[in-house]
Amino acid sequence: MTTKITKAVIPAAGLGTRFLPATKAMPKEMLPVVDKPAIQYVVEEAVAAGLTDVLMITGRNKNALENHFDRMTELEDLLEKKGDQDRLAKVRFATGLADVHYVRQGDPLGLGHAVLRAKMHIGHEPFAVLLGDDIIDDRDVLLSKMLTEQGKRNATIIALMEVEPEAIHLYGCAAVETTDDPDVVKVTGLVEKPSAADAPSNLAIIGRYVLRPEIFEVLQNTKPGKGNEIQLTDALQVMAVNPQFTGGVYGVIFRGRRYDTGDRLDYIKAIVQLAVDRPDLGPDLRVWLQEFAATLD
Ligand code: UTP
């Protein structure tokens, strides 16, 4: 019997040092992508996949995050009085999206440590993890396929994406075997941020996971790894090589559009890519982009 998954965990407690000074007093997950904070895209994705119980792992400066998903009565009253229903709907939308809970990480000791903070809230059921700075284009399918695979295989499911060999050192990397589904692989091993020479494949782990609850026990016994942080990848490696206890690890290969808003260049690309397809901004932006591109060497 498999349990229907309803809970999503969104770690958003990292320091976001690549974005300093913008992230000095604000989490990077609150940086706007066009006109919505990155984290709202992520919550919308979770909700679209049926995950309406959202636990955010927050760090310093969590107020902006909490306020964003809370009522803002003064602003709502003002918009109501002005009769600005359009903006009022936008403000209210974030509030009613999901049942959002918060837990503090304290010190940012790594993604694995952040996920471990969800143990009490999750209990003994499988759950999804969505990184708060990683956006999957809502025109492409990933999370719902991962949830289906979890139900089918009763395993832990990670999301993988092919990257250029010279970029693999920025990611966790998977050693894999094929399955009968060309979009699903069996993960036989994982290594965090390997050099191109040591990488077992060009398949990089991206920020979506559907985890079995045994991950908590494994994380409790995981020592700090790369960067002196408790790495989720290290715990997943233990799950992958102990399939008899944990059902093993499978990877869903994602071939769609993904935006890593924690990286400055990718962040700029994300804004342009998403804005050109927006009916309100796209037409003018396309014209300007073409003119601007023509001025470049
Ligand atoms: P990153 O490694 O991209 O985040 O973590 P970072 O450390 O904030 O970024 P830089 O390198 O300093 O710019 C991926 C995700 O995991 C969360 C981050 O908030 C981000 O969503 N995270 C990371 C935590 O919640 N806690 C941590 O201790 C580390």
16-52 pLDDT tens trace: 999 999 999 999 999 999 999 999 999 999 999 999 9
Domains of the chain: 7-262 (3.90.550.10), 264-297 (no CATH)
108 C-alpha to ligand 1 centroid (Å): 8
Burial of 217 (0-12, 13-18, 19+ CB in 10 A): middle
> What band does 287 get if pLDDT is binned at 50, 70 and 90?
very high
3-state secondary structure at position 92: helix
**pLDDT at 230 exceeding the cut of 90:** yes
CB 25 within 8 A of CB 63: no
For 171-193, the pLDDT digits (tens) are: 999 999 999 999 999 999 999 89
Whole-angstrom Cα distance, residue 180 to residue 151? Answer: 17
- Nearest atom (ligand 1) to Cα of 11: 25
Residue 227: pLDDT over 90: no
**Spatial distance between the Cα atoms of 50 and 148, rounded to a whole number of angstroms:** 12
User: Average pLDDT of 99-103?
Assistant: 95
**pLDDT value, residue 1:** 53
210 Cα to the center of ligand 1, angstroms: 18
Return the best residue to mutate from 15, 45, 234 for the ligand 1 pocket (most ligand atoms within 8 A of CB). 15
Q: Provide CB contacts within 8 A for 59, sequence distance 6+.
A: 12, 13, 14, 15, 27, 104, 105, 106, 108
Atom of ligand 1 nearest to the CA of 133: 21
Question: Closest ligand 1 atom to the C-alpha of 229?
Answer: 28
What value, to the nearest 5°, has the Cα angle with vertex 133 and ends 128 and 139?
Answer: 70
Whether residue 57 contacts residue 8, with contact meaning beta carbons closer than 8 Å, is answered with no
CB 105 less than 6 A from any atom of ligand 1: yes
State if residue 14 touches ligand 1 by the CB under 6 angstroms criterion: yes
Interval between CA 109 and ligand 1 midpoint (Å):
9
Mutate to test the pocket of ligand 1, among 43, 111, 205 (most ligand atoms within 8 A of CB): 111
* pLDDT of 246 above 90: no
**Would you state the pLDDT for residue 2?**
61
Q: If you average pLDDT over every residue of the chain, what do you get? A: 94
Q: How far is the CA of 279 from the centre of ligand 1 (A)?
A: 33
Q: Write the DSSP symbol of residue 229.
A: S
Distance CA 120, CA 124 (A): 9
Measured by CA distance, the residue closest to atom 25 of ligand 1 is: 13
| The pLDDT value given to residue 60 | 80
Instruction: Answer yes or no: is the C-beta of 115 below 6 A from any ligand 1 atom.
Output: no
| Terminal CA-CA length for the chain | 60
pLDDT digit string, tens, across residues 205-220: 999 999 999 999 999 9
Residue 72 has pLDDT above 90, yes or no: no
Strand partners, 162: 203
Distance from the alpha carbon of residue 242 to the mean position of ligand 1, in angstroms: 27
pLDDT at residue 259 in the model: 95
Evaluate: CB of 281 within 6 angstroms of ligand 1. Answer: no
- Distances 246 to 116, 119, 155, 253, 271 between C-alpha atoms, Å: 17, 17, 7, 21, 39
Report whether pLDDT(115) > 90.
yes
How far apart are the C-alpha atoms of 34 and 16, rounded to whole Å? 19
* Structure token digits, residue 254: 């994602």
d(CA 125, CA 127): 6
How many angstroms does the Cα of residue 20 sit away from the middle of ligand 1? 13
Answer whether residue 79 shows pLDDT above 60: yes
Instruction: Work out which ligand 1 atom sits closest to the CA atom of 131.
Output: 21
CA angle 284, 36, 135 (to 5 degrees): 100
Q: What is the dihedral of CA 33, 11, 126, 214, to 10 degrees?
A: 150
Q: Are 176 and 188 in contact (CB under 8 A)?
A: yes
Say which range, 4-8, 39-43, 71-75, 114-118, has the weakest mean pLDDT: 71-75
Residue 235 has pLDDT above 80, yes or no: yes
